[in-house]
């Protein structure tokens, strides 16, 4: 039985994952790129977070560059800014917020000026500013930065007096620096001007600005634009230092628009303060007090170090997959969406799409429930629909599922019952990893439950569901339903939380977990907990299933286990690396996922999903499935891929022999094969089964086709099995073969004529 490979790379079908609107709605849920609270509260949009980071790193030069971005006069602004950022600092909720304004002053004091950039070409349109004061000063600075030829008309006698007009709050030193900066700016001044002559003096200028005092009789000005349409003057009332700086920013933008003969109200972008939706996890943040007294450099560094650098990374912190790709859900979603929309060429996001465990942990740790797994699952189904899904990453797992539901499938009512009240569905991984435990559990259920307990050994369909093969999933679902019907539609006792979750999608099915049954009927005599404390790992299949999580804890405690909950337990539990077929599609990430699970505790792990048990043991951790403790069994070392298949088949045969007294066929293919441990490990790594080797050697025996390598003395035979060609290096021995190596490729090779 083989799966069909997609026909061609030259198939140009396309189907959108969802509409652009839905994409945007989904993207909006990710708040990672939302501004920090201090940044959102600043009308000038100071990136205080980045500035504080630079100060904390003792890089005052960079900090000053960031601060200078928002104002031409950093000394003046920092001396008088009302600092709404400070009140919005999250640290205020538990202690003192960061002293941002004092840090701005420190940045001005200790930050070295960077090199002046290249001289910019002056703009052609000229601007006049009438009057003095903070608004006039800031506006002159802003317009000079924008390279307008600016002329300031003021009543004062000289530059010193012009600067002093409203800057009494600035310290002497800062005043000196600011005045120096002002002198260095390319601004023309007309001192001792009679501002009453504005209407005649404005002649010849393209745009006219004025301080509020210079246009006393103005009534129709618009605050958002700082503009009077009646007077055609950029002006407005401001209050405070920050108000003047912000007013000057708005006014400078209006000047830009007017200089281009455009209405100042159009296309201005987002101005002023904004509301941020950023979520910051404050669980590990402790209250602290400000430590910037006299404002020394060291104090400033320490104070800036208090900044917690607000960001939302709840999902990335929790998930090895997101950490691996270093991408936040919004970006990932957009890239996946675009990947799916590509008709021709390389699909760079296929690997990330197929590497997600689809476990849903992100949807629980994200404050807005962003589910990357759902996106990847939709993308996989989409790729299957359009014929763009490669078979290679999932083929082994899908073939394994077919094996579970064919050769290794078993569905029998308990002897003596035509129809049963229950059916035990242990799950394919339990049968593959711990067949003795499954057998013990089934015997126990038959013995202690009334009404008959049937057994169904097979796969619930999770494999094809994860692979996005929805048609195959529907077929599996129909097949299982038919089998269950033949048993009299009994209550399904799932042995695996993922099976329980998958089977819950079947209409009219009554489902329970073996853990619920054991809670009800009590533990068997064999039950014995671990002697040492253990960490409980919740299965990702039980996410949102509190009843299962509690039942497992209850059972473990009744067996005398001392359980230690780990970070990210219960609903927040990460996947072990098996889910979503990550184990098959990306072994590196799957391993990181396992390690992420294990880094939560040094203790032995108890789990209730056999895949978790297997992957933890593979990493060398003492790992027990709860049913091993209940039935006093030991699944031992993790089996290789061939052993997993053998275990499923032999469990079926053992049950048939022992419970139903049926004769079963011996698994004999008529010759012996010897493998060294190195070859077995190599085959496991290359996903080559012993059954593949047998098939190659069987074909060899039929055709005699092989090659002798004169250099190594080894023979090499091959067989095309489905979509893969397997090659086996062997030597003949008495009664069979000794295998020295095996490899495979998917490309088909044929002889070419000519």
Closest CA to 619 of 583, 589, 594: 594
Shortest spacing between CB 351 and other proteins, in angstroms: 8
Q: Given the complex with other proteins, which of 154 and 724 has the nearer CB atom?
A: 724
Q: Given the complex with other proteins, which of 435 and 741 has the nearer CB atom?
A: 741
- Give SS3 for 227: strand
What tokens appear for 676 in the block?
């060294």
Shortest spacing between CB 587 and other proteins, in angstroms: 14
Neighbours of 15 (CB within 10 A): 12
Q: Given the complex with other proteins, which of 487 and 724 has the nearer CB atom?
A: 724
Closest CA to 713 of 735, 730, 701: 730
Q: Given the complex with other proteins, which of 347 and 558 has the nearer CB atom?
A: 347
Shortest spacing between CB 398 and other proteins, in angstroms: 15
What tokens appear for 141 in the block?
């600075």
Cβ 197 vs Cβ 128: under 8 Å: no
Q: Given the complex with other proteins, which of 13 and 115 has the nearer CB atom?
A: 13
Closest CA to 372 of 609, 29, 15: 29
Shortest spacing between CB 559 and other proteins, in angstroms: 47
Q: For 474-615, where are the E strands, in sequence order?
A: 491-494, 511-513, 534-537, 563-564, 605-607
Axis crossing angle, helix 610-618 with helix 587-598, rounded to the nearest 10:
90
Shortest spacing between CB 458 and other proteins, in angstroms: 29
For 310, phi and psi rounded to 5 degrees? -45, 125
Query: Cα torsion for 453, 454, 455, 460, to the nearest 10°?
Result: -100
Q: Given the complex with other proteins, which of 10 and 286 has the nearer CB atom?
A: 10
Shortest spacing between CB 716 and other proteins, in angstroms: 7
| Cα 621–chain centre separation | 26
Shortest spacing between CB 700 and other proteins, in angstroms: 9
Q: Given the complex with other proteins, which of 637 and 712 has the nearer CB atom?
A: 712
DSSP tag of 295: -
Shortest spacing between CB 742 and other proteins, in angstroms: 9
Neighbours of 592 (CB within 10 A): 18
Cβ 427 vs Cβ 496: under 8 Å: yes
Closest CA to 88 of 24, 43, 125: 43
Q: Is the dihedral of CA 460, 464, 468, 472 positive or negative?
A: negative
Closest CA to 310 of 272, 279, 283, 284: 279
Shortest spacing between CB 7 and other proteins, in angstroms: 6
Closest CA to 15 of 393, 380, 357: 380
Q: Given the complex with other proteins, which of 432 and 467 has the nearer CB atom?
A: 467
Contacts of 752 (CB under 8 A, 6+ apart): none
Q: Given the complex with other proteins, which of 521 and 707 has the nearer CB atom?
A: 707
Q: Given the complex with other proteins, which of 118 and 750 has the nearer CB atom?
A: 750
Shortest spacing between CB 117 and other proteins, in angstroms: 44
Q: Given the complex with other proteins, which of 367 and 390 has the nearer CB atom?
A: 390
- How far is the C-alpha of 356 from the C-alpha of 375, rounded, in Å? 10
Q: For 230-382, where are the E strands, in sequence order?
A: 233-234
Contacts of 271 (CB under 8 A, 6+ apart): 43, 224, 249, 250, 253
Bridge-partner residues for 492, per DSSP?
Answer: 423, 511
Q: Given the complex with other proteins, which of 445 and 717 has the nearer CB atom?
A: 717
List residues near other proteins by CB under 8 A: 5-10, 344-348, 350-351, 390, 392-393, 703-711, 715-716, 718, 725, 727, 729, 741, 743-754
What tokens appear for 104 in the block?
């701005």
Q: Given the complex with other proteins, which of 482 and 588 has the nearer CB atom?
A: 588
Neighbours of 293 (CB within 10 A): 10
3-state SS, one letter per residue, for 479-491: HHHHHHHHCCCCE
Q: Is the dihedral of CA 433, 436, 439, 445 positive or negative?
A: negative
- How far is the C-alpha of 575 from the C-alpha of 361, rounded, in Å? 8
Q: Given the complex with other proteins, which of 58 and 725 has the nearer CB atom?
A: 725
Q: Given the complex with other proteins, which of 348 and 667 has the nearer CB atom?
A: 348
Shortest spacing between CB 674 and other proteins, in angstroms: 20
Q: For 551-692, where are the E strands, in sequence order?
A: 563-564, 605-607, 623-625, 672-675
Shortest spacing between CB 424 and other proteins, in angstroms: 39
Q: Tokens 């007096």 appear where?
A: 161
Shortest spacing between CB 711 and other proteins, in angstroms: 6
Q: Given the complex with other proteins, which of 300 and 683 has the nearer CB atom?
A: 683
Shortest spacing between CB 714 and other proteins, in angstroms: 11
Shortest spacing between CB 728 and other proteins, in angstroms: 11
The burial class, CB within 10 Å (0-12 / 13-18 / 19+), for 559 is: middle
Shortest spacing between CB 18 and other proteins, in angstroms: 22
Q: Given the complex with other proteins, which of 347 and 572 has the nearer CB atom?
A: 347
Shortest spacing between CB 333 and other proteins, in angstroms: 19
Cβ 487 vs Cβ 493: under 8 Å: no
| Cα 26–chain centre separation | 14
Closest CA to 85 of 285, 273, 245: 273
Q: Tokens 């800031």 appear where?
A: 138
Q: Given the complex with other proteins, which of 15 and 93 has the nearer CB atom?
A: 15
Shortest spacing between CB 66 and other proteins, in angstroms: 41
Closest CA to 45 of 54, 34, 35, 55: 35
């Amino acid at each position: 039985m083989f799966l069909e490979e997609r026909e061609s790379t030259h198939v140009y079908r396309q189907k959108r994952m969802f509409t652009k609107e839905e994409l945007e709605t989904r993207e909006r849920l990710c708040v990672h790129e939302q501004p920090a609270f201090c940044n959102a509260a600043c009308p000038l949009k100071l990136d205080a977070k980045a500035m504080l980071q630079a100060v904390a790193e003792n890089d005052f030069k960079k900090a000053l560059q960031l601060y200078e971005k928002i104002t031409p006069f950093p000394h003046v602004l920092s001396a008088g800014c009302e600092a709404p950022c400070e009140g919005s600092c999250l640290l205020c909720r538990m202690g003192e917020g960061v002293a941002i304004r004092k840090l701005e002053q420190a940045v001005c004091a200790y930050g070295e000026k960077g090199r002046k950039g290249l001289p910019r070409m002056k703009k052609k349109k000229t601007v006049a500013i009438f009057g003095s004061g903070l608004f006039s000063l800031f506006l002159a600075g802003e317009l000079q930065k924008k390279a307008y030829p600016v002329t300031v008309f003021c009543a004062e006698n000289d530059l010193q007096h012009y600067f002093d007009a409203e800057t009494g709050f600035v310290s002497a030193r800062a005043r000196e620096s600011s005045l120096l900066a002002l002198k260095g700016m390319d601004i023309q001044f007309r001192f001792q001007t009679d501002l009453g002559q504005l209407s005649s003096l404005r002649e010849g200028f393209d745009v006219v600005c004025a301080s509020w005092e210079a246009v006393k009789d103005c009534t129709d000005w618009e605050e958002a634009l700082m503009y009077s349409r009646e007077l055609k003057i950029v002006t407005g009332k401001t209050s405070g230092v920050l108000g003047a700086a912000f007013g000057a920013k708005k006014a400078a933008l209006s000047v830009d628009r007017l200089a281009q003969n455009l209405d100042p109200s159009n296309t201005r972008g987002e101005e002023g303060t904004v509301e941020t939706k950023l979520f910051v996890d404050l669980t590990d943040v402790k209250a602290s007090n400000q430590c910037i007294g006299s404002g020394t450099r060291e104090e400033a560094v320490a104070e800036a170090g208090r900044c917690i650098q607000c960001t939302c990374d709840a999902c990335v912190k929790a998930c090895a997959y997101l950490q691996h790709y270093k991408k936040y859900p919004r970006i990932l979603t957009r890239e996946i969406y675009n990947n799916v929309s590509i008709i021709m060429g390389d699909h760079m996001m296929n690997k990330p799409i197929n590497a997600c465990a689809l476990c849903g942990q992100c949807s629980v740790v994200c404050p807005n429930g962003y589910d990357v797994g759902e996106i990847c699952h939709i993308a996989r189904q989409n790729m299957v629909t359009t014929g763009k899904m490669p078979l290679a990453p999932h083929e082994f797992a899908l073939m394994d599922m077919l094996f579970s539901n064919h050769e290794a499938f078993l569905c029998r009512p308990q002897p003596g019952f035509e129809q049963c009240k229950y059916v035990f569905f242990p799950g394919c991984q339990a049968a593959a990893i711990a067949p003795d435990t499954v057998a013990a559990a089934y015997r126990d259920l038959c013995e202690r439950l009334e009404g008959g307990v049937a057994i169904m050994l097979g796969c619930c369909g999770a494999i094809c569901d994860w692979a996005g093969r929805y048609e195959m999933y529907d077929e599996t679902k129909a097949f299982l339903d038919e089998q269950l019907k033949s048993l009299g539609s009994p209550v399904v006792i799932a042995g695996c939380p993922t099976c329980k979750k998958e089977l819950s999608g079947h209409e009219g099915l009554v489902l329970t977990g073996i853990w619920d049954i054991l809670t009800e009927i009590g533990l068997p005599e064999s039950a014995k907990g671990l002697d040492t404390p253990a960490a409980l790992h919740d299965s990702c299949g039980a996410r949102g299933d509190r009843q299962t999580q509690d039942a497992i804890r209850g059972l473990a405690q009744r067996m005398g286990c001392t359980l230690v909950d780990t970070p990210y337990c219960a609903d927040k539990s990460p996947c072990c690396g098996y889910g979503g077929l990550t184990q098959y599609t990306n072994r590196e990430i799957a391993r990181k996922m396992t390690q992420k699970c294990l880094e939560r505790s040094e203790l032995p792990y108890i789990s209730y999903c056999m895949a978790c048990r297997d992957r933890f043991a593979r990493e060398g951790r003492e790992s027990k499935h709860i049913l091993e403790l209940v039935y006093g069994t030991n699944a031992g070392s993790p089996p290789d891929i061939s052993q997993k298949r053998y275990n499923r088949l032999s469990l079926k045969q053992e049950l048939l022999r022992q419970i139903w007294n049926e004769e079963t066929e011996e698994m004999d293919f008529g010759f012996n094969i010897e493998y060294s441990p190195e070859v077995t490990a190599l085959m496991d790594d290359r996903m080559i089964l012993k059954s593949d080797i047998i098939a190659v050697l069987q074909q060899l025996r039929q055709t005699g086709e092989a090659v002798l390598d004169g250099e190594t003395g080894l023979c090499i035979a091959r067989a095309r099995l489905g979509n893969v060609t397997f090659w086996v290096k062997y030597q003949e021995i008495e009664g069979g073969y000794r295998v020295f190596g095996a490899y495979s490729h998917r490309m088909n090779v044929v002889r070419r004529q000519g």
